[in-house]
A and B are shown apart, each in its own frame.
Chain A
């Protein structure tokens, strides 16, 4: 059933023990992502050196879907070139929008979030960390608070 698929063990595991859930003193880029209607409030911090994301972290308060998505995304971002992030979001969005899509190798563990696609009202939760990371990267130069 879709509900069990949504709250599968991997999502819950990331929710309970999120990776990279911390503040990043060395961050060069950061942005706050807010979903006012559901109360998600997320800070994404990135350390970018020579166009490559060396470290990614998030903090804040959010629902299980957003929290798990942020946890998986920050894992995925480590070591990526900043140019890959926009394309990653497009692939991730396509994954959510097509229930029959085969797992996308480029997305790694983020494929586990595909069941969110069956809940149109919750897609925004899975997308919020991505959009926030992109906004952080778009903010030019050193970290703004």
Chain B
């Protein structure tokens, strides 16, 4: 095939492919050994590893210009504030937000969802109103709504999934009604890998004038996100799923919506003027950022976004999808192995069970091959209940994973089976 390509095309194909070995060199942790074996890190859906660009940005902040933000006139505070706000601009660019005013820094996706539940949804809910979510949500997009429903008398509705782990869109469409006040949906399921048709859901919702919140935690490292094209109203993300630090994330919402929302947590930074007679609140997005934020985290996140943009999310996705296809094909050939989640469109996540081997035991045995994978319910217990399994094992890929690592993993699977047989 290459023989027939013009030389210029060949060159551009080579340029477009990810140089995985070169990429791996940027991740110090990938050089370590676990139980005397090279680390095979397949727990990327839980959190990915960090490249030097991020580690060094955080290190540089603490070494050279550590100071609080928006608080002082001194040089260090000016530099810290500038770097912090630069990161906000990077997040806005990443999501294609209209303005950095639309980016509220949070501790992560979970806090972003809780912010929307408490500041946006709560004042709008009457007893009997409905919040619609899906059966494949992470606990972070279930529990805040359950708590809110308990407190307001609203009702939580759950759109069903099919045996492949896909959303039943016909059923979902039928569940949007006059009392629906908000739809919460996960963009990419962490437990199943399913990529949901978020743009279509938003179109359905718009016809009923219902706002849509998207849990994007699992989508950002693998998909190019464009909140305008999706047509959603809230998009929630975590930095640590996309090569940035833990403890930092963001809520995106249109400025007009954020303007309509009351503050959630009170404290410093979120105010304009405080007296015992009354307090006036800061402008968006600062109104929602009470207290000293995770400054180093935000700065590290900015570096991660820049790094992602340089490598190219599309190139990373192409590599991850190859790993997904290869691993899926080989795992399907293993007797007694069941892949949980076989949606037509998937992120690089494979949840599975192996007859006769409890995921927990598999996790321990395969750890001794240097392979880090996740076992348990993946914070999606209703998904486990739907598939009638107590837990699954899960492998998930990032751009730095290798085809040869899949061989190591499969060898570990065989050993686990032999050991427990």
Q: Which residues from chain A sit less than 8 Å from chain B, CB to CB?
A: 1, 3, 6-7, 12, 15, 36-41, 61-65, 119, 121-122, 125
Task: Enumerate chain A residues within 8 angstroms of B376, measured Cβ to Cβ.
Answer: 36-39
Q: Give the Cβ gap from A61 to chain B, nearest Cβ, in Å.
A: 5
- Given contacts A63-B360, A121-B364, is CB(A39)–CB(B420) below 8 Å? no
Query: B359, B375, B377: which contacts A36 (Cβ < 8 A)?
Result: B377
- Given contacts A12-B420, A63-B360, is CB(A3)–CB(B368) below 8 Å? yes
- Given contacts A3-B368, A39-B391, A121-B364, is CB(A63)–CB(B358) below 8 Å? yes
Query: B364, B365, B368, B384: which contacts A39 (Cβ < 8 A)?
Result: B384
Bound-state CA distance A65–B361 (Å) is 8
Task: Tally A-B pairs: CB < 8 A.
Answer: 52
Q: Give the Cβ gap from A126 to chain B, nearest Cβ, in Å.
A: 12
Query: B359, B365, B377, B391: which contacts A3 (Cβ < 8 A)?
Result: B365
Bound-state CA distance A121–B372 (Å) is 13
A40 close to B390 (CB less than 8 A): yes
Known A-B contacts: A7-B361, A39-B377. Give 20 more (CB < 8 A): A3-B364, A3-B365, A36-B376, A38-B360, A38-B375, A38-B391, A39-B359, A39-B360, A39-B376, A39-B384, A40-B360, A40-B390, A62-B358, A63-B359, A63-B360, A64-B361, A64-B420, A119-B364, A122-B364, A125-B360
A61 close to B365 (CB less than 8 A): no
Task: Enumerate chain A residues within 8 angstroms of B384, measured Cβ to Cβ.
Answer: 39
Interface string of B364-404 (1 = CB under 8 A from A): 11001000000111000100100001110000000000000
Interface string of B120-132 (1 = CB under 8 A from A): 0000000000000
Closest residue on chain A to residue B358 by CB atoms: A63
Task: Enumerate chain A residues within 8 angstroms of B390, measured Cβ to Cβ.
Answer: 39-41, 61-62
Task: Enumerate chain A residues within 8 angstroms of B368, measured Cβ to Cβ.
Answer: 1, 3
Q: Give the Cβ gap from B128 to chain A, nearest Cβ, in Å.
A: 31
Identify which of residues 346-366 in chain B touch chain A, using a CB-to-CB cut-off of 8 Å.
358-361, 364-365
B420 close to A15 (CB less than 8 A): yes
Query: B360, B377, B389, B419: which contacts A7 (Cβ < 8 A)?
Result: B419
A-B pairs, top 3 by smallest CB distance, nearest first, are A39-B391, A39-B390, A63-B358
Bound-state CA distance A144–B384 (Å) is 26
Closest residue on chain A to residue B359 by CB atoms: A39
B360 close to A122 (CB less than 8 A): yes
Interface centre among A3, A36, A39, A62 (most CB of B within 10 A): A39
Task: Enumerate chain A residues within 8 angstroms of B391, measured Cβ to Cβ.
Answer: 38-39
19 A-B residue pairings within 8 Å (CB atoms)? A3-B364, A3-B368, A7-B365, A7-B420, A15-B420, A36-B381, A37-B376, A38-B375, A39-B360, A39-B375, A39-B384, A39-B389, A39-B390, A40-B360, A63-B358, A63-B359, A63-B361, A122-B360, A122-B364
Closest residue on chain B to residue A121 by CB atoms: B364
Q: Give the Cβ gap from B379 to chain A, nearest Cβ, in Å.
A: 9
Q: Give the Cβ gap from B351 to chain A, nearest Cβ, in Å.
A: 12
Bound-state CA distance A37–B374 (Å) is 10
